[in-house]
């Protein structure tokens, strides 16, 4: 269920409510002394980051990009010479 942000138009109290998309919007402030009208704020949500194999950005890179990445990682992964 999504979480919606609300703000009271009278006292400015901000709160969140977990509601189904089918539920009607809340209309009253939960602060007992106020009980003024509330307005649902528009939220931006959160971004998604897909990691690992199985996604376009990692599986369908060009061959030249893969070769350059392999060359870059190959040089830095070499172990330092042993001290004697």
Predicted TM-score of the model (pTM): 0.50
Question: Under a CB-based contact definition with an 8 Å cutoff, are residues 25 and 57 in contact?
Answer: no
Contact 13, 32 (CB under 8 A): no
Instruction: Give the pair of three-digit tokens for residue 61.
Output: 């890179």
Over residues 54-84, the pLDDT tens digits come to 666 656 677 888 788 888 876 554 555 666 6
Q: Where are the domains of the chain?
A: 3-41
Buried b (16+ CB within 10 A) or exposed e, 24-36: eebeebeeeebee
């Amino acid at each position: 269920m999504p979480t919606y942000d609300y703000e009271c138009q009278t006292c400015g109290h901000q709160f969140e409510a977990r509601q189904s998309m089918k539920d009607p919007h809340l209309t009253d402030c939960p602060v007992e002394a106020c009980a003024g009208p509330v307005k649902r704020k528009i939220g931006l949500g959160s971004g998604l980051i897909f990691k690992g194999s199985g996604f376009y950005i990692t599986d369908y890179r060009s061959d030249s990009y893969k070769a350059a990445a392999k060359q870059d990682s190959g040089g830095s992964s070499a172990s330092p010479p042993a001290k004697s």
